[in-house]
Structures are given as structure tokens and as C-alpha cells.
Chain A
Amino acid sequence: MKALLLAMLLVPLAGIAVLYLLPRDVAERSATRVGFYAGGAVLVLAAALACVFDYTKTGYQAGVNWNWIPALHIRFQLGVDGISLPLVLLTALLSALCFFYSIRHMPDGGSQRSYTALLLLLEIGMLGTFLAADLILFFVFFEIVLLPMWALIAYWGTDGAKAAANKFILYTLLGSAVMVVGFLVLFAYADSFDMAWLTAHARGDVPKGAALTAFALIALGFAVKTPMFPLHTWLPDAHTAAPTTGSVLLAGVLLKMGTYGFVRIAVPILPQAAPTYAPALAAFGVVGVIYGSLACLSIARKPDGDLKRLIAYSSIGHMGFVLLGIGSLTTVGMNAALFASVAHGLITGLLFFLVGGLKVRVHSAKLDDIGRALYRRAPKYGVLIAFAAMASLGLPGLAGFWGEVLALFSATRPGTGLTQGSYIAMASIAAVGLVLTATYLLAVVRRVCMGPAATPSEQPVTELTAVETATWTPLVLLTLLAGLWPALLLGITNPAVRVLMKGV
């Protein structure tokens, strides 16, 4: 199992090495295939990990624990448990799908070799973030992710790519810089970077004041990443500019690194500080739900509204539910946050793929350029968009539902030390957000999928291609599966969350 974890990080690295060892022209020609093999291998490894994972145990499994920088008590510690496993699987899946999709749909912008190498590096960073069991190692992987994503947006993006990429990297770097200061404050008192140890000894060494400071700093870092309401403005720009695969991974995985941080680090390691900030987290989450939905609605009402931008804002709304779940400081809330994270990764990944496909077809993601009546012009494509919209608006029976409803459930009865009344108010407001979410998604479906009978002037739209079908089918199936059988995910996360939440 140890070997599996290490291999998951080393295989993409090997992929990068191969790309740069091959002669340039050969590498350019075969880059996307090399990427696909590496990504596919990681997916296989992740699936193998899911098979050998012991679902009856609760703590870290397959722990790699090596000395790294002994003078600073930093260790190279990897591990996987019920919280990280679903996210690791999600990452491996989405990355593999992105590689597969890139074979046919390489974005314009430059060398295929660099593009693939960057995606591989990105995958290392994402997997490492979810596998790291040491705070500094976590931080290192957290940072590794930024550079490839910046380059992907800046060089393979469209519509003001450079500015958006710079905004993205500066904003998130600021967040993670603050976060690492929080880690250091924590270290100053607890004298360890070991996550498992810190969780087990939570409430022990860190005095209240220091814990409050550390929590604020760490939470700020994760809040930027999530993104939480007033710290979100990098997201729409980055998504609008990013190439399809970049958007998919950005929404599907990168945002989850923030929520994962909350669930894994901020709340369980600093439980004495959590009740102080939890209402703020929940409140900003709720504001994000309403605000994101309204922003989407305003885009859906504009004639030149950009669909990618709309989905980016919808992510803010969905992540608001995640924050609400975390802010409730209950086991249900954490489960809800994880479920919603994974579901959002699947659904929003699918949505970004779909919009990317439209962009390939009509060379624009603007609502007016896409035109109307996709149900007629490309029936399967239209149905798929309607399906994704339904999933995104939290239709029960699809993945989006359980996370949001459980977040509301946890918020109507928050953990000890929190005022139930205010949480009930927040839950009610967030529930209204469900209606708003439905409003803008259905407005989009009406504008794009429905529409009048054929006019001669309208452009034809290509129906789903084989590559697209193959790329998106897994997402559709998993969305259905997670919606119809939520135990599949909740069964994995719940035992691990229970352990984490013992001290809270």
C-alpha cells in the first residue's frame, strides 16, 4: 500500500521525465498520449488503492513516514484515510479524463509537451495535497499546484488570460502565505507538524489566544482557496480564461483543497478555536450561496452572459453549502461538506466539459453565440446539459442533493457552543438559495436547450463525439451512482470524520 501511494506521486513525475528525455519533436507528437498513459496509470493505482483500503479501520493507512528535514521537525509523511480517499479518487479520475480529452481537444497556445508536463505536475500537487500527513509537506504540495495552473491559464487560456492568471496566483499565494504562518504559530506551541499527532493531541498544548490566531490564519488561507464569499473574485476570472481542462481541474479539485483543509486541519487540530469562527464561516458560506446564485442569475439574464463565468459563480454558491456544513461543527456537517465537495467535483467538472465542448463548436461560451434549441440541434448534447443542470441544482437522486441537504440538516442543529437560532436562520436563507440555484440553471436550460422551431439562419451544432461521450460518461454515471446510493461515499467518510470530530 505504501508503494501505491508513492507510485501515485512518482508515475506523473516519470511521465514528465519521459517527456523531456525524448527528442523534442517526438515528445511533441506523443505528449498527450504519454500524459494519458501516466494519468491512466494513476487512475488504476487509485482504484487499486480503493480496493486494498481497509474500510473498517479509521486512522491513516499506508503511512509513509520518512525523515525529511529533521532540524525543523519536518517529515515526509503520507497517508490515506476515509476523508482523503474519495478526494484522491476524484482527482485521479478527473485528471485521467482531462488527459484523455486532451488527446483530441488540445487547447491552442503552445507546446503540447509543456502542456502535458504541466498537467502532470498539477496532478502530483493535487494528489500530494490529499495524501500529505505533515503540515509542511501539505503546504509544499498545496503550492506546487499553483504554478502549473498559473501557466495553463496564462498560456493556454483565452480572454484576458494573463491578467486572470496573475490574479489567481497572487490571490491564492497570499492565502497560502497566511496559512503557513498559521502553521508556524501552531508549531510554536505544539512543536509538531504531524497532522495525526496534532489531531490526537488537540486542545493540549496550544493556549486559547494562540489557537485563535492560528485558526484565523489557517482558515483565511483555505477560505481563499474554497473560495469563501468576499475572497472569491479570482475564481470567475480564472475560470473564464482557463482552457477546458484547466477549468475542470480548477473547479473539480483545486477548490476541494480548501474544504479538505478545513475538514482535515483547521477544525480538528484547533477545536478550541473553531466555535469562535464557525458562525462566521457558516455566515459567509450562506452569503456566498445567495450571492453566487444572484450573480449567476444576472449573468443568465444578460444577452452576452458568459456560461463559463456563470458556472464559476455557481461554484461559489455550492461551496457555500460546504462551508455551512463545516461551520456547523458536527459530524453530519463534515460528512456533508465532503459529500458536497466530491459531488461538486463531478457535476461542475461535467458542466465545464460541456461548456468547453460548446466553445469548441461555436468558438464562444457566450449565451447568445451558443444560440437556442440544442434539444433539436444536438439532442444528446442538450439532454446532457439539462442533466448536468438538474444535478447542479441539487435534484435528489443525483449527487448534488445529499451534500446540500445534509449541510442544511447539520446547520439546523449545530455543534456545542454554537447558537442554534442563528444557525437555523442561516440554514433557512441557504435553503432559499436552492430555489435561486434552480432559477438560473433552468434559465440557462431554457436559453440554450429549449427554443423555437428551426430557422434557416441558425448554425448547425455537432452532436456528441465519441471522445466526448467516452470522457463524460464516467462523470454522468458517478453522478447518478452517488445520488442513488449515497452510502457509497458516506460509508467511507463517516468513520474517519467521527474520529476527527471526537475532540470537537
Chain B
Amino acid sequence: MSTLALWIPLLPLLSAAALAAVSLSGRGRRTVPALAVLPIAAAAVLTFVVLVGHGTGAATESRIRYAATGGPELWLGARVDGLAALIAVLVGVVATAVQLYSVSYMAHEERYTSYSALISLFTAAMLVVVYSTDLLVLLVGWEVMGACSYFLIGHHWERPEARGASIKAFLVTKFGDVPFLLGILFLAHGAGTFRVQPILQHAIQQGGHGYTAAGAILLIGGVMGKSAQVPLQTWLPDAMAGPTPISALIHAATMVAAGVYVVARLYPVFLVTPAALWILAIAATLTTVTAALSAFAQRDLKRILAYSTVSQLALMVAALAAGGRDAAVFHLMSHGGFKALLFLGAGVIIHKAGTGDVDELNTQDLRRKLPVTFITMTIGLAALAGVPPFSGFFSKESIAGAAYDTATHSGPTKSLLGLTPPAGIGWLVLVATLLTGFLTAAYALRTWLMLFGPLERGWFRSAVELSQRQPQAPAPSGVSMAEAEAKAETEVAPPTAADAAAGSEWALEALVAESIREKTAAEVAAAADASASAEAAKATKAKTKVRTGPEAPRAELLPLVVLAAVTTVFGFAGLNLGWFASWLGDADGNAYHAKAAEAGKLIQPADAYHLGPGLLSILLALLALALGLGVVLVAARAKPGTDPNHVLGFLRKPAFLGFRADDLQDAVVVRPTQAAADAVGFLDTEVVDAYVRGSGHAARLLGEGLRRIQTGNVQLYLTGVLTGVVVIAAALGFGR
């Protein structure tokens, strides 16, 4: 099966190449939907074939020599274990769903061709990440994903927030990729190869010190970047400036999960390094709670979902830190499903309503206008909240269970590779999971109420943020709009005008936020915001004109229904020991069945896998759910006419601003870098080059000086010569 897996990424790659050719030549645009959807669908089918073919067996690998480096060789190869096979299916399915959805969602767009080409390229890259046996090749896919994400976020590059968000996403993740790259290099130095299998063996045999420990800790940087963990979480909410299907595919289901995937893939490396586990646990705990709070406080539907994604990803990372690899992967898969569903549903809503502001959506009677979306979104939100029959409940419950087992050193995780994460991590993660469960239930219910609640216009309107969101002036005409934007770009920070070029667009949202507390910047930001939202409104108005009538085209609803069905039933995969866990296999890539257990201590006995619900964790999870739902219901009744998130109290504003992480990033990284750049710009012309120019001037001055003794008097010259001779003779004579 691994041989097949090796060639699967070629399908989307060819699709991307064909689409690029169409895009550049400008001919054959009618073939675009077919070129976009069919190869991806075929790839999805093939990933299924790989999964079934792999079954519950041990990891297989097939590879061809890629390049000699002079040191370890590079291999182009696929290593198929249960984890890779499962995640590849997730990628294939979501990518197909998104391509299908985009056929109608983006069809009116001028740049649909390049857009779908990038999605295809992204799919190829993600499949490379999933299957690759060579870490350096994995890095290739990893960064190509980042680049695709950059281009897709910047798809609407006419809008300043899209421009800023695209660069921010790329740079913040790239910042995480630096340690990630070094980590890969260290692991390769330790094991003498870039291949996964020997690296895992090296880690298991040598333990977590030297190259392995350094590698594990450094890899975390990349995980933080790609999976948007504290302190590199700032890019993901902004990335919602991209088209909604992209948010579903890249920024919810697949790419952001790649960080989690890599940890799971190289799990033994982390497991033998407790320091790495602690770092993961602390970062994840911080992330999951703060992001859940932020999701609670947001007003924009996509930003709610983005923060929720950050929070849920952190939950997976926390599960990994606590030794719950299976639980983490389980949650990754279920989350990929329901979050893609939520985003695609959000896309339908935004297209239909022309806004993503939940406050305005509240008034649109979406429940009746969009019945299919209503039902599927409800399922998605229920899964997000962790309402029992849906997949989210099972996967979250399994995380809590794994954390509890680690905390008490009681459960089967104890025997994982003969190693157990520290009990402290278990307690930390358990608390974080329950707290997040509570918050998630709260903001899921709040979102549902805002979207579909039986409420009148303005019922939940909150005063503070809204004043900034509303376009103040009547919609400006095209020219003045562009001027406003240009003005916003050049005059955002007049003292450092060049900021317009490098930094200030980075966080338009932060600017909006700043304008809340600082009246001085308010006008400029408002102008930018007004122009942007007016532009968006104008665009969507044009769209909605086309689409009166039914809820949405079939191509958009079909993925919703499919994903909703998956979300409903997927959770049960964790119930039976033989199902999910046995397909997933061992952290070391081994098969998981009783016969293999005799082969060595790394192989797990069958009952080691713990995904089925335990009584205690069920109770705790349900308690968190009930509390979360209850708090919001009570809040909604206590103060009618306000957003239920008023229960956050003094936390609401910081949470809305993402706890000022953007400002922190700005102060710690962006501004010092800009200052250093200016310093170097000065240094280079005024100091380094000054020496060079100085040497020229010195030569000229020396010439001027020497000219002066060139009197034309031969006798003077001769006197000089004679003096020289005497001096030399004296030096030679006395030198002895």
C-alpha cells in the first residue's frame, strides 16, 4: 500500500499544474471545475484504498532514492502506518468537499482558476506531509502548505486586511518553522538519517537526551506555528480574511492539524523527552483556555470559529502531552469533520446574509431561510460543544480519560512504550480539558443563539464593539473608497510612514481594537474598516442578487450534509476497541493485535488503547457541558437585550482583543526588527561603506601630500635618496 501512497500526491499536483496552465494561458476555463474536483476526488478514493489496504497491519514503507547530500541520503518515500492512512483520508475527504463546494461558491470569481490550483497544490503538499518517510521531504510539503495558505489568505489582495493577514500568517508560521527545521536537522544528526523509522528507533533506544531531546524541543516551535499555539497563535484569527472554503480546508481541518500530526507521527521522540511534553502541555493549556475565552467574546462568525479552532487544536496538543496519542488523533479527525462543516455552513450563511457579524445575523431569521444549513450547523455546534451522540463528545471525553489516566498513573497509558508522561501533566491537561469543555459549551450555545435563536432584532446587541463595526458614513463610491484605502495604508502610522510598507497592515484587527481604546487612531481605522466592509457588502450584494431563490446550490449543500452525517456517527468509532484504535496502530508504527504483543515490549497489548468512554470522564465531560450551557442560558435570560458573553465581565474586552497578543508580538518582534532594519540601513551607508569611501579619500589625500614634495628640484630628490640610503645602511649596520 505504501507504493500506492507514494504516488497519490501526484494526482493533486498534476491537477495544480493543469490548472496553472489554464490560468496562465487563459484558455479552457470551462474545464476548471472538472480539473479541480476530479483528481482530488480520485486522490481521496485512493487514500481510502490505502487505508483499507493497510488495515490494521504494521507500518509499511516504500521509497526511492531522492538525492545524495554528502551526508545522509534523502528519500522520496511513503511510510504508511495507521495514523498516516487515517489522516490522509481526512485530508482527501475535506479537500474534495471543499473543491466541490468552491465550484459554486467561487465560480463567479475572476480568479477561481488560480484559487483551485492552489487548493490542489495544497492538497498535494499536505499528502506529502502525511505520507512522507523522510523528514526533509516532509518539510517540503510543510512549507509549501504554508505558501499555499499565504496565497489563499491573500486571495482578495485588494483588501488591506487580506494583504496583512496573508503576510502575517506566512511569517508567524515561518518563525515557528525555524526551530522546526533545526529540530529535524538535530534528529537527523542523531539517527544518521532523515527517515522516520530509524529516528523513532534511535529515540526509543537512546532515550531523550542529546540530539533527540534537542530535536523534540525544537520541533515544538513548528507545532506552535502551524497549529497556532501560544505564543504563535496570532495569525489564525486574522487568516479568516481568506475565502471561507479556505478557512474550512486549511485553517480548520488540515494544515493547522499538521502540527498535531507531526507530534503524533514522531511520538516516541517526544515521549522520551519530558521537557518537551511539559512545554507542549503548558503552551496548550494556555492556548486552549485563552482561545476559548476569545471565541466567546468575538462578534464575527468566522473569528469565533477561528478561535475555537485554536482552542480545539490546543486540546489535541494537550492530549498528546498527556500521553493520549490515540485520543488526540481521534479528536483531530472528529474536529476536522465538524469544523469543516461549521466553516462551510458559515460560508453559506455569509453569502446569503452578506455579513459575518453574528449580531446582524441574529436578525435575519436564518432558521427559516436556510433550513439545511440550520440543521447541519446545529449538528456541528453540538459536536463542538460535546453534546453526547456527536463525535466531539466522544473525542473530548477520551482526552479527559487519557489525562486522568496519566494523572493517576492508573490507566493503560502507563504501558505506552514503557514510559508515562509526568503525572503533573496529566492533572494540568485534565483541568484544562474540563475548563475548555465548559467554555466551549458556553460559546457554542452563544453562537447558536446568535445565529438561529428565536430572537428579535437588536436583542443581543452589545454597545462597545458595535460602534466600531458599523459603517459610519453612507457607502462611498469606488474612487473615494480606493482613496480611503490608500490613505489608510499610508497614514496609519504617520510618525513611521514606512510602516505602511512593512508592518502596520499586519494587524488591521489590532488597529481596530486599538481604536476602541485610543480615540486618536479611530478615524483612520474606521475609514479603512468602512471601506473594507463596504467593499465586501457591495460584493456580496452582487452575489446575493444572483442567488435569490433556493438556499444554496447543491454543490454547497452536499458537503454540508455529508460532513454532518459523518459528525453524527464518527464518534462511535471510538467505542469499540477494535475499531479506531486498532486502525490507528502503535506510536511506533507497529500493528496492534495480540499476536504482535509477544514480539517485543514496544508492542501494545490489545487493551492498552483507551478511547472508549470511562464512567468518571463521561460524568466530568457532561458536567462541564451542562455548566457551560447553563451559564449561557442563565446569562441570556438575566439580561435580555445583551450578548450572553457579558458574563465574561472584565475579561470580555481583553478576550475580544485576543488578550493583546498582537500588541505583544508587535512590541517584542515587529518593532525591534524594524528598528534593527533601519539601523542596518544607516550602518551600511554611513559606517561600513564609509570605510571604503574613506580609503578612497585617504589615497587621494596621500597623493595630495606627496605631490607637495615633487618640487622638480633634482637635488632635493637626490638628498632624499641619500638620506634613505644612510638610514637603511644604519639600520642594517646597527640592526645586527
Contacts and interface: CB of A to CB of B under 8 A. Distances in A.
Q: Which secondary structure dominates chain B's binding surface?
A: helix
Contacts of A498: 70
Given A439-B673, A486-B67, A452 B486 contact: yes
B174 interface: yes
Interface string A322-342: 000000001111111000000
Contacts of B175: 435
B167 A443 contact: yes
Contact of B163 (A332, A446, A486, A497): A446
B239 interface: no
A451 B157 contact: yes
Given A294-B677, A455-B482, A490 B501 contact: no
Contacts of B142: 396
Contact of A390 (B67, B147, B185): B147
A453 B147 CA distance: 24
Nearest to B488: A452
B445 to A, nearest CB: 39
B497 to A, nearest CB: 7
Interface residues of A, number: 74
A447 B692 contact: no
B677 A487 contact: no
A409 B680 CA distance: 28
Contacts of B674: 297, 301
Given A303-B498, A413-B189, A452-B486, A233 B688 contact: yes
Interface in A451-494: 451-456, 485-487, 490-491, 494
A170 B693 CA distance: 11
B495 interface: no
B657 interface: no
A450 B140 contact: no
A408 B67 contact: no
Interface stretch (A90-98, A134-142, A426-434): A426-434
B502 A233 contact: no
A171 interface: yes
A291 to B, nearest CB: 6
Contacts of B498: 301-303
A300 B499 CA distance: 10
A193 interface: no
Contact of A487 (B65, B483, B688): B65
Contacts of A303: 497-498, 501
B144 A397 contact: yes
A247 B586 CA distance: 56
Contact of A396 (B24, B139, B154, B499): B139
Contact of B66 (A297, A390, A487): A487
Q: Which secondary structure dominates chain A's binding surface?
A: helix
A439 B482 contact: no
Contacts of A443: 167, 501-502
Given A299-B681, A332-B71, A396-B139, A167 B692 contact: yes
A298 B167 contact: no
Contacts of A330: 70-71
B314 interface: no
B74 interface: yes
Given A452-B486, A487-B68, A435 B692 contact: no
A450 B163 contact: yes
Interface string B72-101: 001000000000000000000000000000
A486 B74 contact: yes
A230 interface: yes
A40 to B, nearest CB: 26
A309 to B, nearest CB: 10
Interface size class of B (residues with CB under 8 A): 35 or more
B158 interface: yes
A490 B67 contact: yes
Contact of A409 (B65, B71, B486): B71
A443 B677 CA distance: 13
Contact of A450 (B154, B181, B481, B684): B154
A331 B177 CA distance: 25
Interface in B149-183: 150-151, 154, 157-158, 160, 163, 167, 170-171, 174-175, 177-179, 181-182
Contacts of A487: 65-68, 74
Contact of A395 (B147, B179, B501, B684): B147
Contacts of B182: 408, 412, 427-428, 431
A100 interface: no
Q: Which of A291, A334, A409 has the most CB of B within 10 A?
A: A409
Contacts of A438: 170-171, 174
B607 interface: no
B689 interface: yes
Interface in B29-73: 65-71
A401 B137 CA distance: 11
Contacts of A295: 677, 680-681, 684
B485 interface: yes
Given A412-B182, A455-B482, A298 B678 contact: yes
A436 interface: yes
Interface string B464-508: 000000000000001101110110010000000111011001000
Contacts of A236: 684
Interface in A395-414: 395-397, 401-402, 405-406, 408-410, 412-413
Contacts of B178: 428, 431-432, 434-435
Given A428-B182, A435-B171, A375 B157 contact: yes
B68 A439 contact: no
B6 to A, nearest CB: 15
A297 B676 CA distance: 9
Given A298-B678, A428-B182, A332 B69 contact: yes
A301 B677 contact: yes
A490 B68 contact: yes
A490 B69 contact: yes
B529 to A, nearest CB: 15
A491 B67 contact: yes
A409 B185 contact: yes
A397 B65 CA distance: 16
Contact of B684 (A233, A449, A452, A456): A233
Contacts of A299: 681
Contacts of A331: 70-71
Given A432-B178, A487-B67, A405 B139 contact: yes
A330 B485 CA distance: 52
B501 to A, nearest CB: 5
A77 B171 CA distance: 49
Contacts of A230: 688
B676 A396 contact: no
Given A395-B143, A397-B140, A451-B158, A294 B66 contact: no
B319 interface: no
A298 B188 CA distance: 36
A47 interface: no
Contacts of B322: none
Nearest to B162: A450
A405 B139 CA distance: 10
A408 B185 contact: yes
Interface in A364-415: 367, 373, 375-376, 380, 383, 386, 390, 395-397, 401-402, 405-406, 408-410, 412-413
Contacts of A485: 67
Given A300-B502, A333-B70, A486-B74, 6 more contacts: A291-B680, A297-B673, A330-B71, A397-B144, A434-B178, A447-B501
18 contacts: A230-B688, A294-B677, A295-B677, A298-B681, A302-B498, A303-B498, A303-B501, A383-B24, A397-B144, A431-B179, A434-B177, A435-B178, A439-B171, A442-B170, A455-B483, A486-B66, A487-B74, A490-B70
Interface of A: 167, 170-171, 230, 232-234, 236, 291, 294-295, 297-303, 330-336, 367, 373, 375-376, 380, 383, 386, 390, 395-397, 401-402, 405-406, 408-410, 412-413, 427-428, 431-432, 434-436, 438-439, 442-443, 446-447, 449-456, 485-487, 490-491, 494, 497-498
